[in-house]
């Protein structure tokens, strides 16, 4: 029983199946992936004698064999496909085995320990926004869920009261971002979520009888319940009957497809039914926009007729699209009726709509001649319009080209346009890659002008990854083959390919491949993994990423003995200086060893200097507080005392100038003016007398400062006068010296004052300046 | 909010927005209330990207500084550590996490600018790696600083690159340039000079190969990238900058776009109140081109600032006078609508007048009396030496730069040491002499070293050694001094520098034209081929690389349209150099606009300071 939206139904034949099934699909586990995915077929084990191993076959949707191998593990309860087209086989003991499209085993996981005893009685594989999930019910009537097989978290759902053995029917729902299980135990319905089990009732008039089937729509939006009395309930997934007012197009209520052995029944909401008799046993595959019917001989699509197609192809339709199609037909026959039709559309002002309808309808058609007819009509209509954007037309043409290519029986992906849009080109390309249809995938990318990085390069990487896992070719040939093919494609991650090669045990090949990797950052982790630390170190340095260098260095440090480690570093100056930095902060002792080894005496000396200073600080820290104060007191002796000590030292070392400086500064500091004067007379000052003036002024002692002005040499006299703010004196000195520059300086100093004496002085200076100038 | 980033030739706000978007995305990843624990070093740079309000919008309720011991109590769901990838910080984080007893919290780490395997390994060893819900990286390489300026705000860049041979910053630089190219298009031409420049360019080209295929289809905004090593031009930062902005930085230091000034000049002058309750907190001002007046005067030589300020004052008071002419209601309304703008202009004028006065007091030779009045009014002891010292210092610098007596022991330096002037000042001058003399003679060098060690202490041996390693101080090995040749060829000294209406970049140092900027200027016209000889004298290789543009992205240049060059200073740039480049952009016939990027904005003092070692304070 399947749900699909149906107004008008149509059944389109997709393929004549090319497979050869010995006993049809009867008594087989059949799983077909949605979006035109592959089909897995396996004989049910109970139908075989225990000694016979069942065969697992994987076909494309057109029935071409992709893989076939004998099943060697335990009995399988359920087959299913993940979103990335991996085959999940749920075994009776709760183990889920995962295979890829080619039948290669990928990995496995278990649905929990208790299942091993109680056995899986039924399993369902479902898709949700989180990925692909597995739900099982055990023989002891307990449900276990895994919402995403790639990030496995098992959830054991609470017990269902009164349930003995398997429920009569159940389904997995996805509501409010939560995965729940709806199950029927006879006439009762229960909703199971993470924490509790609630008894529920479907809305509307009560139903009698026992529920035998539950079906959920592709989008988890609608629900259908079927009882053994032949009643069918349909509604929303929250068990509410759809409110009446929203029953308007374009959201038609869903129809339900019920499948018996030889009969297919499509039930619309009002209770209208359409019957399709079947020649042979079928399997139904729910899709986004319809149901695929799989029989041993053919593969069909049962689908609601899309609205636009209905509008165009309905008998006696007067829709604009229909008229346009007709107009074009007449035009091809060179009949003047074409004009009449066109006029009719134009009079209604519907030509734009007509073109749009034809374009859209073309997308929904499976057969190329219908597609062509519609597109030609659209193109014809377009000629009479001036401002129609060609975008839709172009994109539909492009999409159809891709779709027709993948629908080809040799490829066998029967996607509808709606599905294609939903799944995106990216995913389609992935699917082609999974099927190893590399040339087609590359063609599609080139045709759609997908950026190389996301398109061609990605495909080539997949190709290379699968290539390196093949055995039998020598490393040389393999590398040449891969690099030759990948050389000019940008953004190829050779390290990814190399790690695949390493995983399949071909270390040498991996190293050769890594040479082609442009990003040295990517090479390093793998090289370390392969224990090629020297190579890793030089690659890390090449990348310029110091963090990477540090990482390798710390790895190498643990791996080698100290001597070798130091030698390695010595050959890599960049790494060495980084390691020194590291040691400076973390391991001082090692630093010393490093310098010792390099005979770097300068650095070694520096090391001891800083170490001894550090010890001093540390010593200070450790001594008791009072003692420390004493030490500090001694260390930070009062300024004057220290200066004296220093002064004595300097004198003996005959640093007279510095001695004079220090002494006069200390004396001024202590304001011992008499001492200062005595000092000035003690000997001829080797620093001159301007410093005396300046230190006095620093203490704002003009009186003392004046004493020394006369002693200052003529060259410094102007400055000395200015320092003690004696502008007149400065002026006199400057005039005496007849120096232009000095007179200028004095002028600039008194220009801003405005007292009369100042003005007089200024005049005097100006005059002096002109005389000086004249000379 | 970020108006100063959009008014340049290149809209750097795109970069800022990209950074903000990423920050928001990360914060939203941690649902619920949050507290951020900051690596203190990062708060400044982050301030340029996002204010607290942005964090608050994303439920950041508390902010702490990262330190050992227990985390301060906070009733929040998430604790996020914003840290640099440093091992010592990992230990602190581990300590924090261990001592935190509440189990209901989620921990996250955001590594800035890049996550590090080494640090994660350390966390694993400490046994806390599993406690973190999210470990992410926040790629913050180049931070938009102003309309034409990007900085990585990486303090130790020069030290790392040239002293410790640690190329981490260079790697981040290359990454940052890749990010920049992703947003602003591939830069077709790359020039460079110096070893680090070569290394960065190599990494960029390598990364481009790595990302090949994901090429962006953006029309290139930058035409040229010029990578310059700081050690190509060691001289410029040593010289005292003489532009307004440069002097503010020299004297008060601009950090992350903010300057802290002594508050006295900014006291609100209220009538009737004495000068008793002066504000004690330093005044903090943001300096960028968003402030109209600042944008106007920051690039002027300080000697031209006074005139500009008084002109501006006249304009503003004239504008206020307008109100008397406003007769009709309409006119008054118009006047009132302009009021906020005018008031902002007035307060900005007041601020800058105060700053200019502060600087003037320290730099210019004014009448002593005036000095005294100005200071004593504020209750300060007058100090006549400051301005003299500034002038003397400048004179010596200029002597060195013009090549006067650079081979002898300089008496001024000797005096400075005897007087125990700040060590940095002494080192700056000494290095300058060494650079201008292509190294010092053994005798001279030994003399300086001895004087310094005996006066300032033997611990400075390490610092002197560092200076020697970076080439700032060196022993003259060959007798030929090639600095005069460089100076003459590149016209580094201009006798007639016009400070008021400049006609050459030399105005930024009142005579000295920064070497780095001259190299940039020559590159634009007539090209480096004309100075091959000089380039060979400067350290490191010079090179040119081209990056292929995807078809269809070749710019069709309009007549008279300027080309744009991104100049990247590896190891820091001074404000005066930036000013010189701005000046070149504005020159009518240059045909070139410059955007400046750097690892850090420096001046001579902060630069030398970064190279100093303090053994007592080093963490064992």
For chain A, give the mean pLDDT: 80
Which range among A205-219, A279-293, A320-334, A630-644 shows the weakest confidence by mean pLDDT? A630-644
CATH topology for B3-140? Rossmann fold (3.40.50)
What is the tens place of the pLDDT at every residue in B579-610?
A: 999 999 988 777 889 999 999 999 999 999 99
- B210 and A518 in contact by Cβ < 8 A? yes
Q: A551 CB near a chain B CB, below 8 Å?
A: yes
Better pLDDT: B15 or A260: B15
* Residues of chain B found within 8 Å of residue A700, distances taken between Cβ atoms: 381-382
Which range among A537-546, A620-629, B220-229, B321-330 shows the weakest confidence by mean pLDDT? A620-629
What is the tens place of the pLDDT at every residue in A65-107?
A: 888 888 888 888 889 999 888 999 998 888 999 998 888 888 8
> For position B213, what pLDDT does the model report?
55
Nearest residue of chain A to residue B420 (CA atoms):
A662
Residue B501: is its pLDDT beyond 90? no
What is the tens place of the pLDDT at every residue in B213-255?
A: 556 678 888 999 999 999 999 999 999 999 999 999 999 999 8
> For position B292, what pLDDT does the model report?
86
> For position A140, what pLDDT does the model report?
85
* Residues of chain B found within 8 Å of residue A606, distances taken between Cβ atoms: 461-462, 465
- Contact of A36 with A290, CB cutoff 8 Å: no
Q: How confident is the model at residue A710 (pLDDT cuts 50, 70, 90)?
A: confident
In A408-514, which ranges are continuous DSSP H helix? 417-434, 438-448, 456-468, 475-486, 494-503, 507-514
Q: A574 CB near a chain B CB, below 8 Å?
A: yes
> For position A563, what pLDDT does the model report?
83
CATH topology for B146-239+495-554+561-607? Rossmann fold (3.40.50)
- B121 and A548 in contact by Cβ < 8 A? no
Structure-token match 């955001």, residue found: B110
- Contact of B212 with A488, CB cutoff 8 Å: no
* Residues of chain B found within 8 Å of residue A618, distances taken between Cβ atoms: 620
Give the mean pLDDT of B96-113. 82
* Residues of chain B found within 8 Å of residue A489, distances taken between Cβ atoms: 213
Q: How far is A453 from chain B (nearest CA, A)?
A: 5
* Residues of chain A found within 8 Å of residue B209, distances taken between Cβ atoms: 518
d(CA B47, CA B112): 14
SS3 for A737?
helix
What is the tens place of the pLDDT at every residue in A563-596?
A: 888 888 888 888 888 888 888 877 778 888 888 8
Which range among A235-244, A279-288, B563-572 shows the weakest confidence by mean pLDDT? A235-244
- A451 and B213 in contact by Cβ < 8 A? yes
* Residues of chain B found within 8 Å of residue A586, distances taken between Cβ atoms: 87
- Non-local CB neighbours of B547 within 8 Å, separated by 6+ positions: B186, B187, B188, B189, B190, B205, B208
- A700 and B381 in contact by Cβ < 8 A? yes
Among A434, A411, A306, CA closest to A36: A411
SS3 for B33?
coil
Residue B376: is its pLDDT beyond 60? no
Measured from the Cβ of residue A165, the count of other Cβ atoms closer than 10 Å reads 11
* Residues of chain A found within 8 Å of residue B455, distances taken between Cβ atoms: 658
Nearest residue of chain B to residue A723 (CA atoms):
B384
At A586, which helix (H) or strand (E)? helix A573-586
Q: A240 CB near a chain B CB, below 8 Å?
A: no
Structure-token match 């990494």, residue found: B203
Interface test with B, best of A494, A521, A547 (most B CBs within 10 A): A547
Query: Is B65 exposed, middle or buried, given 0-12, 13-18 or 19+ CB atoms closer than 10 A?
Result: exposed
d(CA A635, CA A619): 13
Give the mean pLDDT of B72-91. 87
Q: How confident is the model at residue A606 (pLDDT cuts 50, 70, 90)?
A: confident
- A586 and B620 in contact by Cβ < 8 A? no
- B365 and A545 in contact by Cβ < 8 A? no
d(CA A99, CA A103): 6
Q: A701 CB near a chain B CB, below 8 Å?
A: no
Among B142, B154, B152, B147, CA closest to B181: B142
Q: How confident is the model at residue B617 (pLDDT cuts 50, 70, 90)?
A: low
Q: How confident is the model at residue B575 (pLDDT cuts 50, 70, 90)?
A: very high
What is the tens place of the pLDDT at every residue in B386-439?
A: 567 788 888 899 999 998 888 888 888 988 888 788 899 999 999 999 999 989
For chain B, give the mean pLDDT: 84
Q: How far is B118 from chain A (nearest CA, A)?
A: 5
What is the tens place of the pLDDT at every residue in A623-662?
A: 444 444 443 444 443 444 445 545 444 444 445 666 777 7
At B123, which helix (H) or strand (E)? helix B117-126
- B613 and A610 in contact by Cβ < 8 A? yes
d(CA B147, CA B135): 33
Residue B317: is its pLDDT beyond 80? yes
- A618 and B620 in contact by Cβ < 8 A? yes
Q: How far is A152 from chain B (nearest CA, A)?
A: 19
d(CA A262, CA B306): 102
Q: Which of B88, B114, B164 sits opposite A581 (nearest CB)?
A: B164
d(CA A523, CA A518): 9
Across the beta sheet with A87-91, the strand order is A76-81, A87-91, A95-99, A105-110
d(CA B561, CA B592): 9
> For position A3, what pLDDT does the model report?
60
- B419 and A518 in contact by Cβ < 8 A? no
Q: A491 CB near a chain B CB, below 8 Å?
A: yes
> For position A650, what pLDDT does the model report?
45
DSSP state of B160: I
Q: Give me the residue spans of the domains in chain B.
A: 3-140, 146-239+495-554+561-607, 253-363, 385-480
* Residues of chain B found within 8 Å of residue A490, distances taken between Cβ atoms: 212-213, 215
- Contact of A256 with A266, CB cutoff 8 Å: yes
Give the mean pLDDT of B265-291. 67
Same fold, B146-239+495-554+561-607 and B385-480: no
Residue B476: is its pLDDT beyond 90? no
pLDDT over 90 for what percent of chain B? 26
> For position B556, what pLDDT does the model report?
67
Residue B558: is its pLDDT beyond 90? no
Give the mean pLDDT of B364-379. 42
Q: How far is A471 from chain B (nearest CA, A)?
A: 30
> For position A347, what pLDDT does the model report?
87
Q: Which of A491, A554, A655 sits opposite B118 (nearest CB)?
A: A554
Q: Identify the architecture of domain B253-363 in CATH.
A: Alpha-Beta Complex (3.90)
> For position A576, what pLDDT does the model report?
86
Q: For residue A556, is it left (φ>0), alpha (ψ between -120 and 50) or beta?
A: alpha
Q: Which of B114, B171, B384 sits opposite A697 (nearest CB)?
A: B384
> For position B243, what pLDDT does the model report?
92
Q: For residue A549, which phi and psi values (nearest 5 degrees)?
A: -60, -45
- Contact of B256 with B153, CB cutoff 8 Å: yes
SS3 letters across A164-229? CCCCCEEEEEEECCEEEEEEEECCEEEEECCCCEEEECCCCCCCCCCEEEEEECCCCCEEEEEECC
DSSP state of A68: E
Q: How far is A591 from chain B (nearest CA, A)?
A: 13
Which range among A42-51, A446-455, B187-196 shows the weakest confidence by mean pLDDT? A42-51
Number of Cα atoms under 13 Å in the Cβ half of residue A152: 12
* Residues of chain B found within 8 Å of residue A519, distances taken between Cβ atoms: 210
Give the mean pLDDT of A351-377. 90
Q: Provide the terminal-to-terminal Cα distance of chain A, rounded to the nearest Å.
A: 121
Nearest residue of chain A to residue B120 (CA atoms):
A551
pLDDT over 70 for what percent of chain B? 89
Q: For residue A316, is it left (φ>0), alpha (ψ between -120 and 50) or beta?
A: left
DSSP state of A236: E
> For position B279, what pLDDT does the model report?
60
d(CA A461, CA A486): 8
β-pairing, B258-261 vs B254-255, is: antiparallel
CATH topology for B385-480? 1.25.40
Measured from the Cβ of residue A702, the count of other Cβ atoms closer than 10 Å reads 14
């Amino acid at each position: 029983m399947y749900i699909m939206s149906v107004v008008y139904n149509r059944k389109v034949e997709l393929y004549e199946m090319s497979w050869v099934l010995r006993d049809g699909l009867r008594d087989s586990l059949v799983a077909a992936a949605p979006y035109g995915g592959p089909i897995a077929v396996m004989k049910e084990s109970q139908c075989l004698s225990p000694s016979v191993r069942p065969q697992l076959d994987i076909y494309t949707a057109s029935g071409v064999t992709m893989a076939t191998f004998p099943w060697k593990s335990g009995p399988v309860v359920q087959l299913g496909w993940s979103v990335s087209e991996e085959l999940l086989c749920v075994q009776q003991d709760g183990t889920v085995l995962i295979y890829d499209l080619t039948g290669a085993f990928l990995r496995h996981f278990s649905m929990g320990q208790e299942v091993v005893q109680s056995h899986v009685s039924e399993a369902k594989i479902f898709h949700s926004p989180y990925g692909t999930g597995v739900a099982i019910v055990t023989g002891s009537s307990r449900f276990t869920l895994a919402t995403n097989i790639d990030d496995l978290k098992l959830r054991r759902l609470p017990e269902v009261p009164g349930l003995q053995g398997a429920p009569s029917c159940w389904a997995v729902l996805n509501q409010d971002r939560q995965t729940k299980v709806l199950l029927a135990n006879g006439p009762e319905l229960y909703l199971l979520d993470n924490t509790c089990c609630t008894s529920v009732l479907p809305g509307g008039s009560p139903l009698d009888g026992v529920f035998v089937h539950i079906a959920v729509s592709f989008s988890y939006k609608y629900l259908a319940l079927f009882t053994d009395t032949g009643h069918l309930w349909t509604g929303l997934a929250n068990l509410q009957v759809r409110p009446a007012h929203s029953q308007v197009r374009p959201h038609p209520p869903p129809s339900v497809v019920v499948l018996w052995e030889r009969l297919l029944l499509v039930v619309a909401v009002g209770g209208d039914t359409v019957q399709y008799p079947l020649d042979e046993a079928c399997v139904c595959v729910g899709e986004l926009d319809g149901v695929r019917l799989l029989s041993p001989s053919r593969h069909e699509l049962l689908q609601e007729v899309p609205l636009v197609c209905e509008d165009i192809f309905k008998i006696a339709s007067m829709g604009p699209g229909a008229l346009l199609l007709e107009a074009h037909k007449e035009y091809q026959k060179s009949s003047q009726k074409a004009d009449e039709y066109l006029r009719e559309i134009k009079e209604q002002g519907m030509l734009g709509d007509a073109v749009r309808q034809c374009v859209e309808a073309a997308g929904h058609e499976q057969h190329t001649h219908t597609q062509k007819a519609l597109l030609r009509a659209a193109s014809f209509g377009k000629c009479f319009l001036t401002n129609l954007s060609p975008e839709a037309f172009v994109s539909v043409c492009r999409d159809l080209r891709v779709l027709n290519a993948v629908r080809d029986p040799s490829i066998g992906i029967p996607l509808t346009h709606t599905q294609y849009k939903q799944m995106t080109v990216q995913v389609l390309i992935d699917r082609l890659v999974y099927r190893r249809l590399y040339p087609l995938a590359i063609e599609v990318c080139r045709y759609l002008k997908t950026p190389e990085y996301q398109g061609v390069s990605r495909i080539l990487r997949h190709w290379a990854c699968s290539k390196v896992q093949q055995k039998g070719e020598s490393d040389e040939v393999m590398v040449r083959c891969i690099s030759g093919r990948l050389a000019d494609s940008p953004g190829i991650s050779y390290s990814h390919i190399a790690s695949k090669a390493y995983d399949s045990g071909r270390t040498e090949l991996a190293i050769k491949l890594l040479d082609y990797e442009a990003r040295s950052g990517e090479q390093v982790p793998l090289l370390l993994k392969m224990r090629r630390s020297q190579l890793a170190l030089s690659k890390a340095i090449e990348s310029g990423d110091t963090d990477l260098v540090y990482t390798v260095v710390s790895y190498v440090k643990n791996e080698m003995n100290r001597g070798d480690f130091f030698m390695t570093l010595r050959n890599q100056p960049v790494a060495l200086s980084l390691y020194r930095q590291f040691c400076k902060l973390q391991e001082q002792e090692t630093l010393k060893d490093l310098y010792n080894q390099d005979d770097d005496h300068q650095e070694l000396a520096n090391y001891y200097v800083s170490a001894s200073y550090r010890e001093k600080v540390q010593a200070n820290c450790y001594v008791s507080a009072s003692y420390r104060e004493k030490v500090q007191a001694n260390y930070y002796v009062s300024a004057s005392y220290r200066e004296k000590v220093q002064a004595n030292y300097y004198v003996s070392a005959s640093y007279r100038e510095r001695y004079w400086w220090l002494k006069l500064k200390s004396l001024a500091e202590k304001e011992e003016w008499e001492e200062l004067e005595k000092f000035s007379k003690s000997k001829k000052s080797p620093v001159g007398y301007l410093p005396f003036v300046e230190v006095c002024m620093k203490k704002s002692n003009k009186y003392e400062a004046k004493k020394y002005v006369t002693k200052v040499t003529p060259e410094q006299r102007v400055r000395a006068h200015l320092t003690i703010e004696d502008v007149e004196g400065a002026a006199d000195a400057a005039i005496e010296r007849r120096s232009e520059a000095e007179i200028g300086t004095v002028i600039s100093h008194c220009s801003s004052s405005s007292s009369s004496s100042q003005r007089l002085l200024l005049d005097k200076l100006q005059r002096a300046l002109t005389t000086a100038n004249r000379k | 909010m970020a108006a100063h980033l959009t008014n340049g030739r290149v809209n750097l706000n795109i970069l800022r927005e990209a950074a903000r978007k990423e920050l928001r995305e990360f914060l939203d990843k941690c649902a619920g209330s949050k507290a951020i624990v900051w690596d203190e070093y990062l708060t400044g740079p982050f301030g340029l990207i996002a204010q607290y309000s942005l964090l608050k919008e994303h439920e950041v309720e508390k902010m702490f500084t990262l330190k050992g011991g227990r985390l301060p109590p906070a009733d929040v769901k998430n604790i996020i550590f914003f840290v640099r990838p440093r091992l010592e910080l990992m230990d602190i984080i581990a300590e924090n996490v261990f001592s935190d007893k509440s189990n209901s919290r989620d921990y996250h780490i955001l590594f800035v600018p890049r996550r590090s395997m080494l640090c994660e390994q350390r966390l694993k060893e400490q046994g806390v790696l599993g406690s973190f819900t999210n470990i992410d990286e926040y790629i913050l390489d180049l931070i938009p600083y102003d309309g034409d300026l990007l900085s990585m705000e990486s303090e130790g860049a020069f030290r790392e690159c040239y002293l410790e041979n640690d190329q981490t910053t260079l790697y981040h630089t290359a990454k940052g340039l890749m990010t920049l190219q992703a947003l602003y298009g591939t830069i077709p031409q790359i020039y460079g000079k110096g070893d680090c420049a070569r290394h960065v360019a190599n990494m960029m080209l390598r990364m481009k190969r790595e990302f090949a295929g994901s090429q962006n289809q953006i029309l290139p905004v930058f035409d040229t990238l010029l990578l310059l090593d700081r050690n190509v031009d060691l001289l410029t930062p040593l010289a005292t900058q003489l532009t307004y902005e440069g002097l503010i930085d020299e004297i008060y230091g601009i950090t992350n776009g903010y300057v802290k000034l002594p508050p006295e000049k900014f006291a609100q002058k209220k009538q009737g109140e004495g000068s008793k309750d002066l504000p004690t907190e330093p005044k903090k001002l943001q300096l960028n081109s968003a402030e109209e007046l600042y944008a106007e005067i920051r690039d002027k030589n300080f000697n031209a600032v006074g005139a500009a300020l008084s002109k501006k004052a006249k304009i503003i008071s004239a504008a206020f006078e307008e109100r008397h002419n406003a007769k009709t209601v309409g006119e008054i309304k118009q006047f009132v609508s302009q009021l906020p703008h005018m008031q902002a202009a007035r307060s900005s004028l007041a601020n800058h007048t105060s700053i200019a006065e502060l600087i003037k007091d320290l730099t210019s030779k004014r009448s002593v009396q005036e000095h005294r009045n100005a200071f004593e009014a504020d209750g300060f002891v007058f100090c006549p030496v400051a301005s003299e010292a500034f002038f003397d210092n400048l004179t010596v610098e200029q002597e060195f730069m013009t090549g006067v007596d650079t081979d002898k022991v300089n008496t001024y330096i000797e005096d400075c040491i005897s007087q125990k002037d700040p060590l940095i000042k002494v080192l700056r001058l000494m290095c300058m002499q060494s650079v201008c003399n292509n190294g010092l003679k053994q005798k001279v060098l030994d003399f300086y070293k001895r004087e310094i060690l005996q006066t300032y202490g033997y611990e400075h041996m390490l610092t002197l050694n560092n200076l020697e390693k970076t080439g700032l101080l060196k022993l003259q090995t060959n007798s030929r001094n090639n600095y005069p040749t460089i100076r003459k060829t590149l016209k580094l000294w201009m006798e007639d520098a016009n400070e008021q209406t400049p006609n050459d970049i030399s105005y930024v140092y009142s005579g000295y034209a920064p070497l780095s900027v001259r190299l940039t200027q020559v590159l634009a016209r007539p090209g480096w081929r004309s100075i091959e000889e000089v380039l060979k004298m400067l350290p490191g290789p010079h090179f040119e690389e081209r990056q292929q543009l995807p078809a269809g992205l070749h710019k069709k240049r309009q007549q008279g349209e300027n080309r744009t060059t991104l100049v990247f200073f590896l190891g820091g740039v001074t404000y005066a150099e930036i000013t010189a480049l701005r000046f070149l952009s504005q020159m009518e016939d240059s045909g070139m606009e410059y955007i400046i990027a750097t690892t850090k904005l420096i001046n001579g003092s902060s630069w030398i300071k970064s190279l100093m070692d303090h053994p007592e304070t080093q963490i064992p």
